[in-house]
Amino acid sequence: MPSNPLTDPDWAQKTVDAIDRWVGLVRDRTTRPLIALVRGIVFAVLILTGVVLVAVLGLIALTRGLQAALDAGLSRDAAVWSSYLIIGGIFLLVGLVVARKKRPDEDL
């Protein structure tokens, strides 16, 4: 039962405490899970961006390293297209392995 402000000297403090509890309850049930979700999404995007960046830079480094290695025995032009052919063949083999691992579709 609410207190009478004229007779209860702690009425203001009790009212503020009650409002503070309700605000805290609403914040705990709504804002905190939303903040955790948004943080998770942001960190996932950052990690995904980093992984893609490392993969692209690694592929560039692999291509340049292969070209430098092939350049010792071949002309520059032949080393370049040979490196593309080798890396393309590796990707083809990886794609074939992944395609074989795919489960056959169920009867549609």
Q: Residue 107: its pLDDT value, please? A: 52
pTM across the whole model: 0.61
Can you give the chain as a three-state secondary structure string? CCCCCCCCCCHHHHHHHHHHHHHHHHHHHHHHHHHHHHHHHHHHHHHHHHHHHHHHHHHHHHHHHHHHHHCCCCCHHHHHHHHHHHHHHHHHHHHHHHHHHCCCCCCC
Q: Residue 106: its pLDDT value, please? A: 63
pLDDT of 56 > 60? The answer is yes
Sequence ranges of the domains in the chain: 11-101
- Average pLDDT in the 68-84 region? 92
